[in-house]
Amino acid sequence: MKLNLLGTLAFSLWLATAAQAQNVPSPKAHFGFNIGDDYQLANYTQTEAYFKKLSASPRTKLVDIGLTEEGRHQWMLIVSSPENIKNLDKYKDISRKLARAEGLTDDQAKALAAQGKAIVWIDGGLHATETVGTHQLIETAYELVSRTDAETMRILNDAVILLVHANPDGQELVSNWYMSQKDPAKRNMNIPRLYEKYIGHDNNRDFFMMNMKESQNITRQQYLEWLPQVVYNHHQTGPAGSVVAGPPYRDPFNYVYDPLLVTSIDALGAAMSSRLNAENKPGYTERNGTSFSTWWNGGLRTTTYFHNMVGLLTEIIGSPTPATVPLVPERLVPSSNTPYPVTPQSWHYKQSIDYSLSLNYAVLGYAVRQRDQMLYNMYIMGKNSINRGNKDNWTLSPKRADSINAAYRKDTPPPTSGGAGGGLGGGRNAGVPVKYYDQVLKDPTLRDPRGYIIPANQTDFPTAVKFINTLVRAGILIQKSTAEFKVNGISYPAGSYVVKTDQAFRPHILDMFEPQDHPNDFQYPGGPPIRPYDNAGWTLAFQMGVKFDRMMESFDGPFKPVPYGELQNPPVQTAASVAKGGYMLSSAVNNSFTIVNDLLKAGAEVYRVPAESGAFYIPASAQAKTVLGTDAILGVKATTLAKAPKGAIKVKNLRIGLWDTYGGSIPSGWVRWLFEQQHFTFERVYAQEIDAGNLKNKFDVLVFVGGAIPSANVRAGGFGEFGGRTPSPEELPAEYRTQTGRVTADKSVPQLKAFLEAGGNIVTIGSSANLAYHLKLPVSNALVETIGGQERPLPGDKFYIPGSVLQVTYDTTQPATWGMPATGDVQFDSSPVFKLSDGSLKPLATYTSATPLRSGWAWGQKYLQNNVAAFMAPVGAGKLYVFGPEITFRAQAHGTFKLLFNQLYAAAK
């Protein structure tokens, strides 16, 4: 009787749930078309309204995770069974406890894993022109909320699914633009501006820095709130001749990962490809069939790896405008990269949506079948990280392997002819004696640190606090000293920060402090290099110029843990209320420039003091007192002076022009955001305005980021090309017509030269160094070789440095480098390097070492030695500042921001 009653109740509950599911409006009922219909896109306003309708279902909870950069609400739709929805806090707490692995025994972790639900993140639309992502999200939400089949019901029972709109602003822009064309055949994605307010495609390069509001919203949920076991990030487009690229990914993977993470990615990838094969959906490619690896930190899915989360990326073909799968003969041959090739055919949007649904269900199906194991595995990885941080540990890497080989070769005579003896791998079972392993990988100086101390008395402590906040947002446990303390004989002041490595997200900590050691990766011995998916090296502490000490032994002190997620502020620096001689701000502190901009806008006088490395001198005034009081929260110490310093040079607000282009330049967008953060006043300038001339009547300084200036086709090769077609003005709405066109040698360069000769200053970054060649300055490409009497750029098998961190030496006597250290780190990304042949050109930064690599991959770095990274050239009454490295790189390179900021005052008369 009892069993019958229970069965009746269960059946009644199922009927109630099924009835409610039937009341959920279909996408067609809401949008007026089926998701996947050709030539149809939904915008974010419509999607937001639909998700609000879905939130009426007992299977859902709609959560506002924050505002976007354009002020829209960013939604996360949580989907699970009605019972689970009532207990979300319980399952979130279990997920967090297992992920952090703090104070748990294995038995306790297993018990929690048995109680928990698989937490699976699925997002869409991060890159807004990749419209399959947003639309599969809509269809997935509907399917999970409305379906009552056994597979869906099991998923709902054993998983909590987080469906996240990754870029609401972009969806609104792209869909509205596409649908604005009445003739469906003419609809296109050629949007006139970046689909994220500032950084467009680079919104998937911001996930350890978290500058953008959308990145902060997403990472708060990932690393502080939910800590999901799986993060699935949908993208486009798949490699030609395939339908979708996905896991497993190609080598290399980052050496700080737990090996369980790597095999877990492979397992999910197998489930995804197997599902498609079972459903007769060909075209899944993986491993070396794609360009995607798991080396880099910074993407939505890649940063998850450093948090022991199984990050998944797929890149699928498809557009609301029908297309074709092209014929790529080599992809027609089945292999481990593409077991089930797709044949050439026409392709419709609905097919991509169907594939995406299958992939989502494959991921969810695996997660629920392996629910308790996935939860427990995340605990195991966290526990392993804690254990590694509590003892001596050596991270394996290519340099360590090379050191073992070098030590062995040093002691071993070369092989005699006719025999293999004495060489590495000489016989079938040949190897290197274990003593060489011990010699290298038990060297105490090569151990991983037990932790790091960030001293509070470093010059630019406000920037160090910004660095700490990137770790706070990433879910790292930070400690702060409550009193002065001493470690290894060194005293540290109260307020210093401590980051220990005995915590679950240790891989991320090491990745932010330690150099990356990318392997030498070539297509074949002596062949061309294989470009990394993104950067090869990025160590954030280096990029930001943060001073820290590595602690190789366990240490302790008067440390107080900072609550998870609690952002830090530098100590408020209140200047004395009375200063007869005025105030001084250090030029070595980035926030000083923000205060100076506020002072100038308030009408206060500001000077620079050459004898103090360009420190800012502010005479006492009511305006100065007010601004310094308001900006005290920026943490910059205003030194009071009894009298004015000698030799001070007055500065003023300059009229700044920042180059941009139709469709939006990502590097320019980063600088635009940076200027806004630092309170610079500026205007964007486009090619048409440059070509019109009279630039000195409008601007004092022009800034050209990488990609602005085309190659001059100099004898030794120019740097970078800016390609692609922009529409003609008559094709566009009036507001965008003045933005078309490009900087050209025949029309633009003469106007830029006239601007310089009239006393204007120009700053170029990266490939825009091409301007120096257009102007025929006495400068040449340093990275060349002479073959048959002709100079040509060094080939990749001799010199290749993708995105990596290198060290330069600065000439700190130059106003352009005021506030910089004698040596510093720069972000190099196939950057131009120079030889100067005239004394009128002043080197600002030089590669003085034969081994300047600090983090990443530098093949043939010896060619950099004694060559110039940055210089200043007088042109008429003006100055051209040329910076080869990416000094504003993704608004991460705080350590080199001053190389731009200084030039925004240098033109003052």
pLDDT in tens, 393-411: 999 899 889 999 999 999 9
pLDDT, one tens digit per residue, over 514-531 is 999 999 999 999 999 999
Confidence of residue 574 (pLDDT cuts 50, 70, 90): confident
Instruction: Give me 11's structure tokens.
Output: 């059946």
Q: Which residue has the tokens 């500001």?
A: 606
- Helix/strand/coil for 689: helix
Would you say residue 3 has pLDDT above 50?
Answer: no
pLDDT, one tens digit per residue, over 637-695 is 999 999 999 999 999 989 999 999 999 999 999 999 999 999 999 999 999 999 999 99
Tell me, what's the pLDDT at 809? 98
Tell me, what's the pLDDT at 576? 62
Would you say residue 419 has pLDDT above 60?
Answer: no
Greatest distance between any 2 Cα atoms in the chain? 100
In this prediction, residues 421-438 reach a mean pLDDT of 67
Confidence of residue 412 (pLDDT cuts 50, 70, 90): confident
Q: Which amino acid is at 98?
A: L
In this prediction, residues 315-334 reach a mean pLDDT of 96
Burial of 897 (0-12, 13-18, 19+ CB in 10 A): buried
pLDDT, one tens digit per residue, over 191-228 is 999 999 999 999 999 999 999 999 999 999 999 999 99
Beta strand 615-618 with 606-609 is: antiparallel
Tell me, what's the pLDDT at 716? 36
pLDDT, one tens digit per residue, over 796-854 is 999 999 999 999 999 999 999 999 999 999 999 999 999 999 999 999 999 999 999 99
DSSP class of residue 414? P
Q: What is the CA radius of gyration of the chain?
A: 29
φ/ψ of 639, rounded to 5, equals: -75, 130
DSSP 854-876: EEB--BTGGGGTTEEEEEEEEET
What's the CA gap between 473 and 460, in Å, rounded?
21
Q: How many CB atoms lie within 10 A of CB 578?
A: 8
Q: Which residue, among 200, 143, 208, has the nearest Cα to 167 in the 3D structure?
A: 200
In this prediction, residues 430-445 reach a mean pLDDT of 87
Q: Which residue, among 226, 161, 165, has the nearest Cα to 365 in the 3D structure?
A: 161
**893, containing H or E segment:** none
Confidence of residue 500 (pLDDT cuts 50, 70, 90): very high
Which of 170-179, 419-428, 603-612 comes out lowest in average pLDDT? 419-428
Highest mean pLDDT among 387-401, 425-439, 688-702, 726-740 belongs to: 688-702
